[in-house]
Each structure stands twice: as C-alpha cells, then as structure tokens.
Amino acid sequence: MTPALDPQFAPLAAALAQEFALEAELGRGGMGVVFRATDLMLDRSVALKVLPPSLGADPEVRARFLREARTAGQLSHPHIVHIHRADERAGFAYFVMGLVEGENLGQRVRDRGPLPPGDAVRHLREVAWALAYAHARGVIHRDVKPENIMIERGSNRALVTDFGIARVETAAHLTTEGHVVGTAHYMSPEQVNGGALDGRSDLYALGVVGYFLLSGKLPFEGMTPGAVLVAHATQAPPPLRSVAPQLPAALAETIDRCLAKHPEQRFATGEDLAEALRRAMEGAVASREPVVSDRHRLLSEDQAALVWRRAAQLQAEAAARLERETRAHAVRTQLGEPVTTSTPAQGPPTSSYRLQDVESAAIEAGISQRYVALALSELPGTDALEAAVDPSEAREQAGRAILGRVQRSLSVSRVIRAPARDVLKAMGRTFQNATFRLTLKDQLGRHPLDGGILVFKLPDMDASGTNFTHFTWLRYGLYARELRATIRPLDLDGGAAEVTVVADLRPGVGYNVWGYGIIAGGISAVSGVIGGAIGAKAMALAGLAIGAPAAITALAAGALAISASRAFYRWELQTATQELEELLQAIEGTLRTRSVFEEDPPALPPPAAASGPDITLLST
C-alpha cells in the first residue's frame, strides 16, 4: 500500500495534479523532501524535491534554491542525475529530476560494511569524472557525501545528485540540528572557514567519501558536529591505512592526498584524481594483492568460454523447468485441480578477460546475472566446469537411456515482499535453524545484495541413521551436497527481493545413472532366468521346440524396470523441488513472526533419536 503523503504538502500535490502525480515520499533531509512522482505528460517516473516550508518561507532562500537548481539543470553527464525542471507552485519551490532506482552509498555501506577496493574505486572514479565535468562549467557541488551518490540498480553506476543545491546553505544553517550531522563530516577546511571555494573543495569531500567507503569509518568520529568542523579545519586526519591496514598502500595514499589541509596539496582536477585511482588499482592487480576485488581477476580465453557456456546451460535448464511447470499448471487448471502459489524464477590482453567483463558480456547476450554468478562461483574448479559443459558421452547416453534425461541442477525461486536486506537476515535465520540445519560454508564474490552467492552445506542424517533431514531426497536421493543462494532486489513498492536457491546435482548423476542401470539390469537378468525356466518347462510339456523365451522375458522385464526407474527419478526431482520450495516459504514465515512479535521464531531443539513409538499418556 502506498503511504499517505504528508498533509503539509497537499496544496502542492493539488497544484501539480495536471502535470505530476505525487505517489510516495522517498526521503527527507535538512534541504528538502523528495517524492516519487509520475510525469503525466511523458508517462515516466521522476523524483520531485521540495524545499521544506520552514526554509521556503524566506523569499531569498527560495529564489536562490531555484536559481541554483536551474544552474545544475544545465549539466548533462552520464554520472549526474539530470534536473528536468525547477519552478514554484502554491508557495512551494521544487525541482524535478530523474528517478534513480537503487540505493545511495551511505545505505550500501551501512547495510554491507566497507566496499571491496575495486568497487569503491569504480564509484569514486565515476564521481570524480562527474565533478570534473561540473567544475569545468563553474558549478561547485558543496555537499558531496555518500547520501548524494546513488548507485543505479542493474547498471551499478554511480550518479551524483543535488548538484549546486547545497549553495542554499548559509553560515547560520551550518549548526542547525538535523542538517550539520549529515554534512559536517565531509566539509573541506576552506568551506568550514567560509573561504573562497573551487573544485578542490569537492575533491576533499570526495576523499572523505572514499575514506568511508574503504574503511567504514570517518576521519573524525565520536565528536559533536561543531568539534568535527574544527577538526577538519585544524587537525590532520588519521591515515587511511591506520584504520584499514589491509588496503593497497598506493590506494590509501591517494585518498590521504585528497584530505590535505591546503587545496594546492590535493589533486588539481577530478580527472587527475580518477587517473591516480586507476594507477593505484592497476598496481595492486599487478602485485596480486589479495584485497583486490575478485572482479578484477583475469581469466583465460578457455575459462571465459566455459563460464559463458555454463551460465547459458544453467539458464536453459531453469527455463526448461519453468516450461514444464507452466504446462503442468495449465493442465491442473483445466482439470480443476489445486495449484501451488509459489513464484518460479525465471584493458587486458586479447587472450585473457577481466572477470567483470566476462560477466557483462554474458548479461548483454541475454543470460541472467544470477546464472552468470553461479557459473563464476564454480571457477575455482575448472574441471567441474568442463564436466558440466562437456559431459562424458557414455554417461550422457546411459543417462538418457535409463533416466530419460540427466538433470545437473535444481533451482527454485520465490519473490518475497520485503526489503532485500530484511529478506537476507530472515534467510540467514531460517536456513540455519533447527528445522533445516543448513550450515553457511562460504560467501562467493560480492556481498549477497550485490550479486554475491551464499553457499550452504546440506545436513547429514544423525549418527544413528534413523532421523532423516528435511532434505532427505535432495541429499540422499539425488546426492546433492550443498545449496547456493542468491538474492535479487526488485523495484516494487515497499521493497521486494527474489531469492533463488540452486542445488548442484552433478555429484549424483553418476550414482543415479549406474545405480538405476544396475537395478534395471539385475531385474532383467533375474526375470530372464525365471521366465526362461518357466517358458522352457511349458514348451517341453507341450512338445514344442524351445525358442528364446528367456530373452523375450528379460527384454520385457528390462523395459518395465527402466520405465519404473524413470518414473521414480522424476518423483525424486519433484520431491526435492518441494523440499526447496518449503525452504523459501519458511523465509516468509520468519518475516511474519518478526513483524508480529518483534523477535525471531523460537529455536526448536533438533529431533531426538527415535527409540520406539511415541506414546503420550493423558491423565484423567
């Protein structure tokens, strides 16, 4: 449900009703309230920022707000949120800008912690380019901070917002409660002192942003806003490596230079800063420093080809399962049978590729990012990738003959209506509780909310061998050993995320092919012997010549055994799929419990070893 708008903005909503439909408040700060709105003329979503009534009552402040917004509206750059319009209605000053679906860098660090150096450098360079473009046109941002840097979902590019709007601030506003807390930590010494500003002031602020992204800390913490301002003006900040010693030295030195007290000691332009960041990361990659993001790792041409083929295979298998489920759903609907409600898923040398480029190329070719991530997660074992995309021909033929088809993975997806970070927390609680008993084995790639993968080990039955797990058929019927889970944030009102869980069935393919083959062969042989003896006896009594009754009986029994094997294999797959669907449904149960009781579900003890029938005596 869309939340009601603040009544104080009702006059503005009414005045704009013919042009914009205000839908929901996205956030507010000292310098404005931002609404999600629809541009009715162009039928597009936009963000509309309104000057708060407390500030808009001053005609001079309102005029300056509009003047600076119009100045910023002249900027057009891939990493700047474009301002479409600035105007006044019903006594309110407002401007309309592009709506960015995603989150700001402040939210990202608060939710996930410090960014990997590769990701942080990418965003810092994008912002540096945007600042350089603005500075060349005489526009100084004056309020560069993580909350004003949006990360667009899908493209993962940084977009700077609120260009020039900070100029509305006056010295009297610097200590206003609720405003200085968000900006004092990023102010350059000359801005604190009220001196003349140029682009190097913005680069100081961007250096503080980099400090925060790479360490999760600010140069001056644990102080009042006033003390922070004094510290920026008079004290040297702690070197970045003193709070994040694992960072590459060249990268830390680049950020430290941005925080020099005197503007002439900093980088002269945003382009200079972006180039210094590039050299620092290339040096770290060349020296193979372990802290560098895995996305900058180089893959050979053969490895890249394997990743693309494996990702395409995973997507094709998921699509085939979706098609089968859709057909089955249609048949059940026609027959009037109940149906389920789960939601199915759907620079370097030419002989090598950066991992992030391999990922991008696959996505451009139409392969979903989740399958690319899953394929990349198998990279440490290239042999496993080769086995997946170039399976043994003998095993493939035997598998098709005995099982009908060979399925190498099993996946289930579900859309959960809750913010992605809440879904992640609920998933952790649910997967590892006493019911499912999954164990977090590894985290691959980036943070789970940024496309990373969580690897969980499937539980074994207890030592007695009597208490099976929730995943009995997945673990002991299909021989899966682990699950890989991904989360994809969705742009739905109130927040939503699609959780996908994939079980790798390749370790059990050989067991099932040869196991069912041996069973079918054994049944054929026994049936042939028995049938042959019975047939020979009957023919002898009838005085007939003995032909080939044993062979005929064996063939019939073998065909029946193979048919039964295929049916049972399909049943195993269906049952294992249901086990995974129940796992994802339980996430929603955890979220409901927490929303009602404001606490997690009680931790139930693991089932006790069975020692006999469970008898309950009722006293009278």
The answer to whether 143 is a known catalytic residue is: yes
Task: Please state the separation of Cα 246 from the chain's center in Å.
Answer: 25
Q: What tokens appear for 160 in the block?
A: 């700077």
Beta bridge partners of 21: 38
From the candidates 39, 58, 143, 504, give the one annotated as an active-site residue: 143
Residue in the block written with tokens 């012997």? 529
Closest listed residue to residue 580, CA positions, set 488, 513, 511, 502: 502
CA distance readout (Å), 609 to 73, 265, 473, 475, 614: 70, 71, 20, 19, 11
CA angle 610, 613, 615 (to 5 degrees): 120
**Residue 125, C-beta contacts closer than 8 angstroms, at least 6 positions apart:** 273, 274, 277, 278
Q: Please enumerate in sequence order all residues whose Cβ is within 8 A of that of 453, keeping only pairs 6 or more positions apart, or say none.
A: 373, 374, 377, 443, 444, 445, 484, 485, 486
Contacts of 378 (CB under 8 A, 6+ apart): 310, 384, 385, 388
Alpha carbon distance 453, 379 (integer Å): 13
Report which residue type is found at 140.
I
Residue 351's H or E segment, with its range, is none
Residue in the block written with tokens 């019939």: 556
**What residues pair up with 103 in beta bridges, in sequence order?**
151
Residues in the chain: 620
Quote the strand ranges of 71-145, DSSP E. Answer: 83-89, 92-98, 102-104
Q: How many CA atoms lie within 13 A of 155 on its CB side?
A: 12
134-154 per-residue burial string, b: 16 or more CB within 10 A, e: under 16 = bbeeebbbbbbbbbbbbbbee
Tokens of 351: 């002989």
Residue 395, H or E segment = helix 393-403
Helix axes 369-377, 301-335, angle to 10 degrees: 130
CA torsion, ordered 379, 381, 384, 390, to nearest 10 deg = 60
Q: Is 68 helix (H, G, I), strand (E, B) or coil?
A: helix
* Separation of alpha carbons 158 and 304, rounded Å: 27
Q: What is the DSSP letter of 462?
A: P
- CA atoms of 258 and 126, how far apart (whole Å): 16
Q: 10 Å Cβ neighbour count for 292?
A: 21
On whether the CB atoms of residues 193 and 233 are closer than 8 A, the answer is yes
Our separate counts of H helices and E strands in the chain read 21, 15
Question: Which residues fall in the annotated binding site for ATP?
Answer: 49
Pull the structure tokens for residue 493: 């009102």
Positions marked active-site: 143
